[in-house]
Amino acid sequence: MPNFTHSKARVILHLDMNSFFASVEQAHDPKLKGIPMAVAGNPKERRGILVTCSYEARALGIYTTMSVGEAKRICPELVIVPPDHEKYRVASNAVFAILRTYTDLVEPVSIDEAYIDITEIGGLTDAMNIAMQMQQRILRELDLPCSIGIAPNKFLAKTASDMKKPMGITVLRKRQIQDVLWPRPVIEMHGVGESTEQRLKELGITTIGQLATVDEHLIKVKLGKNGQRLRERANGIDNRPVDPEAAAERKSVGSSTTLPIDETELQPCLAVLARLAAKVAKRLEKQQLAGQVIMIQMRTSDWKNQSRSRTVMNPIHKEHAIYEEAKDLFQRHWEGDPIRLLGITVSNVIPMSELHVQLSIDSFEHYAKEDQMEQLVSRLEKKFGPNAVKRGFRER
């Protein structure tokens, strides 16, 4: 592995696959190229939601999270294909394998994006050439398009990769941020969601430039460490290294409890899982983490331990999402033996500031509604006090 030298100016690439699911489908079936097409969770249902769509479809005004029915009204000839997650995972692994032929300093962030530190293999002098080689090899060998951002840190590299799609390569330097970033609405900044946007708006902050120049003490008081971190990012400051071992080393967050009696009924077990999900969500929130692997632990009355886990497409941190996954795992794998202990663990965690939503088939409808629900809960709590509203869990 190349030695990292802090005296050299860092050069970080952020590689973002373009319309990844749709592009993989087009690579597997060339007849889908050059036409409006989309991947949807349930193509036969007009109420189904588009997970992603080709750039030909986007040019017609079709976008991710649009219903199949609405998309078909805009473009009756839109071709819709069902998802194939295994196909996407294989393609993702192949992309990362190509990147690792250049350097070991590759940090996958999600199924379709990664950071690459090229400081020691060319730095700024050869950055454009290296990025072009990577982009062309991925296109030539895998028939997949990508965009790449080149910058002195992760935040600016990720911002740059969004500036030109598809097949773009963009350099973003610190000296450009006042002209390029500061005029933009704060919601366009990575790490700022709608709830954070609302809190910033209450402080009179609506642009990235206003966030960059706000009083440092004020933002820390109002938004805590996250506010301080966002202010630094708005000024182009981000000292996070590219860490190839990050995914393997990321810790887990969990909670378990011994039941007062050996439980044989489903509903009491689900009630315990709901309480555990709340505890795990609270710990994840405190640490500003989200995770992709959820595991349940079961210990029966004869002291036999079992664990069952699954990987979700998008990292989760919300109480209801954790509960739904844990509940499903439990109902699928519990065979009715008396339960003495239950536990929930979320692992493969990443900082929420790095959260990247690649819509999955199970989550697209949820994400379309989630922000509205969070804003409603926030407004009610402001009016009636903290914890005045408790989210219920929907039975499947």
Token couple for 65: 């999270």
SS (H, E, C) 349-366: EEEHHHCCCCCCCCCHHH
The verdict on whether 113 is a catalytic residue reads yes
Token couple for 165: 């799609």
H/E element, 200: helix 194-202
Placement of tokens 């971190």 in the chain: 229
H/E element, 387: none
How large is the greatest C-alpha to C-alpha distance in the chain, in angstroms? 67
How far CA 261 is from CA of 10, 101, 269, 298, 335, in Å, comes to 58, 56, 11, 14, 18
Catalytic annotation, pick one of 113, 324, 325, 354: 113
Q: Are strands 305-316 and 106-110 parallel, antiparallel or unpaired?
A: unpaired
AA letter at 8: K
Annotate 213-254 with DSSP letters as a single string: HS-HHHHHHHHHHHHHHHHHHHTT---PPP-TTHHHH---EE
Give the three-class secondary structure for 4: coil
Q: Are strands 79-81 and 37-40 parallel, antiparallel or unpaired?
A: parallel
**Of 308, 351, 313, the residue nearest 327 (C-alpha):** 308
Cβ-in-10-Å burial (0-12, 13-18, 19+) of 210 comes to middle
With beta carbons less than 8 A apart as the criterion, state whether 132 and 41 touch.
no
Provide φ and ψ at 88, rounded to 5°. Answer: -70, -35
Where in the sequence numbering do the catalytic residues fall? 113
